[in-house]
Amino acid sequence: MVHAARSSFTRISALLLSLSVAALGVWSQPSAPQKGAATIPTGQFHDAETGTEFTLPGDWTVTSHGHSPEGGQQIGLAFKDAPAEGFVWMKSQSIPQADIIERLRSQVDFKAAQRKGVPGYKMLRDTAERRFVGGQPALSIQAEYTEGAVRKIEYHVWVITENTHVYVASRSAASDFPKVKASIDRFLATFHVE
């Protein structure tokens, strides 16, 4: 019975993910992973291309993993304790160190433009926080939108170095957001970004 419920939840999650992709237009399904590109079997992740490493928390499961259509690697996640989804995207890049802070700032407007047309979508600018993830400069911000009659929160975190761009995000009902955010923040504490 538990397996059937999980299987049903997985199918529903996949359907919701595909509907979210259509509505929000960003979290597309990755292509199949290439051998040796990354590993997740024990919850330990290492991306050979970017050198990004993290440990997947026990309250998240991997729903998809592979190459992103936009380049780089992406991993789809589902939160076990609430109907919430997460996402990690990473890609190699080359930018001067002096441009990192401005590149971080520009991500908020870039993401807001991607969400144009999503009902009620707005960045909650008073939640913006400059921080460090994996010892690297990062920026986080929350956004709100509505899906049907449900108020949702999307939590964005960007980590940018001279060599790597990492984007971590989650989407959940506003009522579930405190526990989802706490879990994502614990997850971010495991990151090593080069």
- 26 pLDDT exceeds 80? no
How far apart are the C-alpha atoms of 188 and 17, rounded to whole Å? 22
What integer pLDDT is reported at residue 117 of this predicted model?
94
What integer pLDDT is reported at residue 54 of this predicted model?
95
Looking at 9-18, 111-120, 154-163, which range is the least confident one? 9-18
What integer pLDDT is reported at residue 28 of this predicted model?
38
- 37 pLDDT exceeds 50? no
| pLDDT band, residue 53 (cuts 50/70/90) | very high
How far apart are the C-alpha atoms of 193 and 134, rounded to whole Å? 5
How far apart are the C-alpha atoms of 149 and 75, rounded to whole Å? 28
66 or 9: which carries more pLDDT confidence?
A: 66
For the segment 101-128, the average pLDDT, to the nearest whole number, is 96
Q: Residue 108's CB: how many other CB atoms inside 10 A? A: 18
pTM of the predicted protein model: 0.80
